[in-house]
Structure 1
Amino acid sequence: MSANPQWDISRTLAVARLFHLVCGVRDACVNPFLTLYLRQLGLAAAWVGILMGTKHLIAAFWAPFCAFLAKSYQKRRVLLIGSLFGSAGASLLMVLVPPLDKDLVYSSCNGSHGATAAALPPGVAPSVNITSAQEPAFNYPAGAPSLAARRSTGMVEASGLSETPGEGVQEPASHLPGYSVGSAGGARTTPPVLHPVTPGVKDTPWEGAFKVVSTALPLLAGGTELGTPANLSAAKGHDRTFDLSLKALRWTFILSLGSMVLWELLTAPLEQVADDSLYEYLDFVDATDRYRSLWIWRLLGMSAGVCGISALVEQLDCYLMTNGPRGVVHFYGYSLVSLLALLVSVAFPVPTCRRQEPRYKTIKALSLIGGNPRLILLALTVFLLGAATSTVQNFLFWHMEDHGSSELIMGFSVALGLLGEILLHPFKTVLLRKLSRVGTAGLGLGCLSGQLLYYSFLWSWWSILPAQILSAVSNGALWWAMKASVEDLATPGTERPLSFMFRGHFYWGGASMGSFVGGFVVTRFSLAVLYQSCCVILLLWLTLFLSIWLRLPPEQKINYSKLLAMEASDTSDSEQGTEQDWLVKAMREEHSDWKS
């Protein structure tokens, strides 16, 4: 940059708006649907929770570290380009992860594009099992509907059991297929026997995640007793199938974990580095007031992207799919939009003039939190907010899929919440002034707990839409109150480090913990239990938060207008009047200490 650079603010803001819009479309292509894709791979809720928790943990600590290095070595543009290019390639690694059951992939594209065949609610065993009369009933692993018993010849086809989404009515026994096994004496058909699953008897999360279902053991001709050599041979074959399935599950999980870790390492630093660059660029010319409205363009991009990609999935997914599950279009779209964002990043404003700023701002901000009880309360609130929000982002689409929802409806529900947040923004100032910051935060927490309780009682695919309107308050207004409170309590120079710490470390740290715990709760109990538990925890914290905040002593602030009035009224030039000036006193005391 030259000694006297030309600052084109209009061009800078136009490029920044376009960059935020494209990045919003890019994020919406995959992030809302990622856990749904992991479910289609055959992973149970516990494993999905581990994957998403690891992803959020990387975002909490890796992004600030990379932003610090990029600023220190003046490599921000290199990091922006490298992040966009690398993430475009790393996202395609998820397409190469093999699913546990390829038969379910093709059955989902035959006929309708609705819910995946044989899909079961996460953490809930099916109401009936089809077994031979001489075989005990087995339970399906929670959240792994693709582990159907199709892996050896002679087993019952799981797709023969049809169930209306959202209803608990099964077909009568006369409509359920039997199975036949060829033998030297001809084929023999055995009618199925319905065994109800005993309620309250559940596996541990690890057993439920690894358990592979066998709905029937083949009954060979002449082998009517369990102790016959034919049945012993069939049992050994079933054990080998069980071992192979466990091995496939481990490989699917390991490959998914490796791909996701690499992908997140390349993607996480992008947002914070771009945010720092734009803020410093506008700060040089005192135009940071325009910086505050750029987040709307990201939400607009996410709204358009989540609806557009879900519509493409409904139309193109089965045409582009080869060996992977439904959802590969999400990753292809993510890569293409990443390349488009790469072109925009070439013109993205990155300041080259280094400013002398105090170092160790993060440590200073952390010490400020430790010495202020209000900031501690806000930090704990953001942590719990991240934990509760992660359960919605991770498993809400599972709940909708179990009730027959298509991905287009899922995308529209997300866009409805984002557009509600944009439409509520003009009333931000009025809302914060009428209810105060604490009241707005309490209203947001109450709306979020109400949403979680509502999600636990969904009865159809369309019932999700009314609750999404509350997202404008439970997400938008709540974060406005949090950000305003943090900036009000921060000391000069620590506003942005504190905001990044709350939005990064505390929020994503809470999302990581919520993903880890939520996955095991869904596997061990159910998704409804998870949402109801989160609702109770948020209501208890809301009561505790308000009671503690109102009991804290008021903040002692300097009344600058009063000081100026006192200085204006003090017209005496005498020594006595000068001694009463607090600024003169402080300067003289400092001067005398320096001389001594």
Structure 2
Amino acid sequence: MSANPQWDVSRALGVARLFHLVCGVRDACVAPFLTLYLRQLGLSAPWVGILMGTKHLVAACWAPFCTFLARSYQKRRMLLLGSLLGSAGAGLLMVLVPPLDGHPVDRACNGSHGVPATVPPRGTPGAPTISAPEWTSSPPGRTATPEASGPGNGPRQDDLERLRGYWVGPMEEARTTTRVPGPGTSAGRDAAWGGALEVVNSALALLPLGRVPGAPANLSAAEEEAQVLGLSLEGLRWTFILSLGFLVFWELLTAPLEQVADDSLYEYLDFVDATDRYRNLWIWRLLGMAAGVCGITALVGQLDCFPMTNGPRGLVHFYSYSLVSILASLVSIAFPVPLSRRPEPSYKTVKALSLLGGDARLVLLALTVFLLGAVASTVQNFLFWHMKDHGSSELIMGFSVALSLLGELLLHPFKAALLKKLPRLGVMGLGLGCLAGQLLYYSFLWSWWSVLPVQILGAISRGALWWAVAASIEEGATPGTERPLGTMFQGHFYGGGCSLGSFIGGFVVMRFNLVVLYRSCCVILLVWLALFLSIQPRLPKGRKINYSKLLAVEGSDTSDSEQGSERDWLVKAMKEEHSSWKG
């Protein structure tokens, strides 16, 4: 086989490893930090949830369709090249999205040793709650003065100092533009209170409408919604709509890449009976992501505000993503793509759907994977927001992701022993329990480094949990339906759960906060875990043919000289299975 360059397996595997490594670095440049960049643009949690939910929904629906077209028309290499080069350009379109009201929330630097001046968007849990001072009514001709008695009746000096330290941009502008006369005169005192009121009003203007006591009740519905969600109508038009359009276009180009590459490599190895060497290629993608997420955050920290002067520092992520995409497109030229061959039967997907509908265990597993996607989206979308509110830098965020990925890699050698020692039901329960524990821990974060110790649980809540899911799919699938079922679970059910979780999670963060979101997800997971452990053992198992047992019976009861239809037990068994599936 090695004499024919089309079937040089060693070379094909080497190129595939390099391709997965580079694509892992490429994905790590932007994917973990995308919601953080949207926050830097000034978008609040509900709009970020809508954007991410739309992104997951497009990926779940578009990737299988493109894979089918590429396989049917034998255009896989063209699609790989087009996806990589197109996504490199589409990623740069996100750089053109204007920040809300023309002022990025998180600038590249603030002139003090590159420390970012961070102001959380309106409507997020990072914004403090401040009570507006109550002012007494005055007769005509007198200046309104604050009441002297009672807590909170007037801006105290410590409140002003706290405001001045938190709202860096608006407060500095208000402080520098307000000149206070001498405190010894009445005019000076009135001007001082007027300046303090201006400072407080400028800070209160950045808070959600629901937190400002005495908000006017005659606002129109559109204006009230815009203030609650932290966007003016003009900002919504240019920031949200452009972000949505560019993000959908970007996802249309990016989504088919991984599935087309996996199908192409699997068919290539299947032609030469080397599919056993396909199983461990995912390790190279995880290595690439772990290296990429640490490298890009270190690069962002070193470049500081050098590449741009008026934009968020998240722009560096998109520039790096485009460069690595071009490098991956060069690798894809040598990616193993099988020559034109007999197309696979198109009924495999239909058979997988029929099999899913007739197996109660697979239905329960599909619901579990859907719930996993909904819960995982809350971590992917808002965990970095939570860390940012506690003073974490992007380097710590990247290191936390790398810890989870490396923990999964270190646990992989014990995969066989874990699945052998524990039943699949036990591994599923262990994974769901660890994920619930992670979510509960996230709700109690207290400093920038406190997220790091719990990330090692990601090896179980992500790695071992998906191993149990894959083993359950393999157990319930019939020959030829393993890959369609696996694609359906990872693409449709998990992606659909991520989409729904993103939509709901954003509004939960707006209405409550991230702590409530994580604790609610923890409770939901624990309730589902109890239901899963109680229902799954009571479900009937599907009847499967044990070919090894039939072979042993055939070898003991018949001789090698026997001929005829009674000898062909394998054909009979497969015909019975096929007839039972059809009818």
Please give the range of the TM-score, normalised by the shorter of the 2 chains: 0.7 to 0.9
2:45 aligns with 45
Structure 2 residues without counterparts, runs of 5 or longer:
138-143, 145-159, 182-186, 213-219, 577-583
Q: In the aligned structure 1, how far is the partner of 2:514 from the partner of 2:107?
A: 27
Instruction: Name which of structure 1's ranges 539-548 and 395-404 shifts more when overlaid on structure 2.
Output: 539-548
Q: Does 1:301 align with 2:288?
A: yes
> Once the 2 structures are TM-superposed, how far is the Cα of residue 19 of structure 1 from its aligned partner?
0.2
> 1:292 — aligned with what?
279
Q: Which residue of 1 aligns with 2:441?
A: 454
1:58 aligns with 2:64: no
Are 2:227 and 1:211 aligned? yes
- For residues 208 and 297 of structure 1, the distance between their equivalents in structure 2, rounded to whole angstroms, comes to 49
What residue in structure 2 maps to residue 146 of structure 1?
none
For 2:103, give the aligned amino acid.
K
> CA contact under 8 A between 1:451 and 1:470: conserved in structure 2?
yes
Unaligned runs of 5+ in 1: 137-156, 166-172, 214-241, 591-596
User: Aligned pair 1:510/2:510, yes or no?
Assistant: no
On the 8 A contact 1:579/1:585 being kept in 2, the answer is no
Query: Deviations 1:453-504 (Å, cap 9, x if unpaired)?
Result: 1101101111000110000000000001101110111011111000000010
Does residue 400 (structure 1) correspond to residue 387 (structure 2)? The answer is yes
Q: 1:232-381 alignment to 2 at 5 Å?
A: 245-381=232-368
Equivalent residue runs for 1:93-242 within 5 Å: 93-100=93-100, 101-102=102-103, 104-106=105-107, 108-114=109-115, 116-119=117-120, 122-123=124-125, 125-128=127-130, 133=135, 161-163=164-166, 177=175, 180=178, 188-189=191-192, 190-192=194-196, 210-211=226-227
Structure-2 separation of matches of 1:329 and 1:50: 24
Q: Is the 8 A contact 1:114 1:405 kept in 2?
A: no
TM value normalised by structure 2: 0.82
Cα RMSD of the aligned pairs, angstroms, is: 3.9
Residues 6-25 of structure 1 mapped to structure 2, 5 A cutoff: 6-25=6-25
Q: Is the 8 A contact 1:96 1:324 kept in 2?
A: no
Deviation at 1:256, TM superposition (A): 0.5
Are the aligned partners of 2:290 and 2:402 in contact in 1 as well (CA < 8 Å)?
A: yes
Question: TM-score, normalised to structure 1's length?
Answer: 0.81
2-side partners of 1:205 and 1:475: how far apart? 43
Matched residue SS, 2:540: coil
Q: Please tell me whether the aligned partners of residues 264 and 336 of structure 2 are also in contact (alpha carbons under 8 angstroms).
A: yes
Question: Would you say the 8 A contact 1:51–1:257 is kept in 2?
Answer: yes
Could you tell me which amino acid in structure 2 is paired with residue 211 of structure 1? Q
Judged with a 3 Å threshold, the aligned counterparts in structure 2 of structure 1 residues 179 and 436 are, in CA distance, closer, same or farther, namely same
Q: In the aligned structure 1, how far is the partner of 2:89 from the partner of 2:110?
A: 27
- What SS does the aligned partner of 2:273 have? coil
Partner of 1:142: none
* Equivalent residue, structure 2, for 1:552: 539
- Tell me the distance in 2 between the aligned counterparts of 1:443 and 1:537: 16
Q: For the residues of structure 1 that align with 2:311 and 2:571, how far apart are their CA atoms? A: 76
In 2: Cα distance, 1:578 partner to 1:345 partner:
52
Secondary structure at 2:275 match in 1 = coil
Alpha-carbon offset, residue 570 of structure 1: 2.5
After superposition, the C-alpha distances for 1:378-419 in whole angstroms (9 at most, x for unaligned) are 100110001101100000000000000000000000000000
- Whether the 8 Å CA contact 1:122–1:398 is kept in 2: the answer is no
Distance 1:282 1:444 in 2: 32
**Which residue of structure 1 aligns with residue 483 of structure 2?**
496
* 1:76 alignment partner AA: R
1:536 to 1:103, Cα distance in 2 relative to 1, 3 A: closer
Give me the whole-angstrom Cα distance separating, in 2, the residues matched to 1:573 and 1:127: 85
- 1:566 offset after TM fit, Å? 2.9
Retained in 2: the 8 A contact 1:59–1:264?
A: yes
Question: What is the rounded CA distance, in whole Å, between the counterparts of 1:533 and 1:212 in structure 2?
Answer: 23
Counterpart Cα distance in 2 of 1:298 and 1:412: 17
Change beyond 3 A, Cα 1:346–1:159: farther
Alpha-carbon displacement from aligned partner over 1:347-395 (angstroms, at most 9, x marks no partner): 0001113134221322221111010001001100110001101100000
Q: What is aligned with 2:518?
A: 531
Show CA shifts across 1:531-575 (max 9, x none).
111111111111111111111234433333433333233358999
- Greater shift after overlay, 414-423 or 429-438? 429-438
Q: 2:155 aligns to what?
A: none
Number of the residue aligned with 1:222: none
| Matched letter for residue 27 of structure 1 | D
Conservation of the 8 A alpha-carbon contact between 1:90 and 1:263: yes
Q: CA 1:14–1:43 in 2, change beyond 3 Å: closer, same or farther?
A: same
Q: CA deviation at 1:210?
A: 1.9
Structure 2 distance, partners of 1:3, 1:574, is 41
